[in-house]
């Protein structure tokens, strides 16, 4: 990419076409997120939010346009570089995707070992550290089914933090949670952004958009557009 990119930008997409298989879902996307920024992506189901997230984490290839994510050029990304890019990203899903037959600690240990951690003491220290960060320091011995939905989502956020990512991508992180629990999760993600990580959240939740206002972009009619006024939140 040319030397015009911002020093603070951690995600930069320029003139990108976002495809889901052979279907063009978003066209001419210009999207920049800075380090430490907390922002939202909104839009109806099928509008392209998740496809954009999947392009950023290299689940979907970037076929047209220029994309830089955490220093990696998406359009020139080699297969062997994808795991390295993904270590700079923490992903938070709506449906948790925890291993149900393992404790919280074992879920986190599995991820660390899969990403090259070997020293048992280092693994234990890192797990303790991320669980403390998300307010789950005493729950490592529990199985996922013994936790509430909000607690499971906190474990998912802890898992996303394990390899000290530069970016957190949260796809409908409060979709299955009650309002009070949802606010706790958004507050936690907001605190994480204050540590210098970029946090990008896709959501349908109008209450959260109002209570925790931040830059908001809307996927609509194949375009990515800024939401300028609070009244426009009503339309998502």
The string of pLDDT tens digits covering residues 132-164 is 999 999 999 999 999 999 999 999 999 999 999
> Quick one: DSSP state of residue 193?
H
CA distance 73 to 66: 8
* 120-127: long-range pairs with CB below 8 Å, 24+: 126/162, 127/162
Residues 6+ apart with CB under 8 A from 135: 154, 188
Contact 27, 221 (CB under 8 A): no
Q: Find where tokens 């797990």 sit.
A: 127
Q: Pseudo-torsion of CA 74, 5, 51, 191, nearest 10°?
A: 120
Q: Tell me which fold the domain 36-59+88-227 belongs to.
A: Rossmann fold (3.40.50)
Output the pTM of the full model. Answer: 0.90
Is 95 in contact with 67 (CB distance < 8 Å)? no
Dihedrals phi, psi of 194, to nearest 5 degrees: -75, -10
- Write down the pLDDT at residue 4: 44
More confident residue, 63 or 121: 121
Instruction: Say if residue 184 is exposed, middle or buried (CB neighbours under 10 Å; 0-12, 13-18, 19+).
Output: middle
3-state secondary structure of 46: coil
**Shortest CA distance to 202 belongs to which of 231, 180, 174?**
174
Q: Is the pLDDT of residue 1 over 50?
A: no
User: Measured between alpha carbons, how far is 99 from 30 in angstroms, rounded to an integer?
Assistant: 36
Give the distance between the most distant pair of CA atoms in the chain.
52
How much is the mean pLDDT over the chain? 90
Residue 2's pLDDT band, with cuts at 50, 70 and 90, is very low
Contact present, 20 and 213 (Cβ < 8 Å): no
* 187-233 per-position pLDDT tens digit: 999 999 999 999 999 998 899 999 999 999 999 999 999 987 665 66
């Amino acid at each position: 990419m040319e030397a015009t990119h911002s020093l603070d930008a951690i995600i930069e997409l320029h003139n990108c076409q976002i495809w889901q298989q052979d279907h063009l879902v978003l066209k001419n996307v210009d999207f920049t997120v800075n380090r430490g920024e907390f922002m939202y992506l909104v839009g109806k189901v099928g509008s392209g939010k998740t496809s954009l997230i999947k392009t950023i984490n290299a689940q979907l290839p970037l076929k047209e346009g220029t994309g830089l994510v955490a220093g990696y050029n998406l359009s020139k990304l080699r297969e062997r570089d994808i795991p390295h890019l993904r270590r700079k990203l923490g992903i938070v899903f709506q449906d948790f995707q925890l291993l149900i037959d393992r404790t919280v600690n074992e879920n986190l240990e599995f991820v660390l070992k899969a990403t090259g951690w070997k020293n048992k003491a280092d693994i234990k220290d890192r797990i303790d550290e991320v669980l403390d960060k998300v307010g789950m320091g005493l729950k490592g011995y529990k199985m996922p089914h013994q936790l509430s939905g909000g607690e499971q989502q906190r474990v998912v956020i802890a898992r996303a933090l394990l390899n000290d990512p530069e970016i957190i991508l949260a796809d409908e992180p409060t979709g299955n949670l009650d309002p009070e629990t949802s606010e706790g999760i958004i507050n936690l993600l907001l605190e994480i952004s204050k540590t210098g990580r970029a946090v990008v959240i896709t959501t349908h939740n109008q209450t959260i958009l109002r209570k925790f206002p931040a830059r908001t972009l809307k996927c609509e009619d194949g375009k990515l557009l800024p939401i300028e006024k609070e009244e426009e939140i009503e339309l998502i």
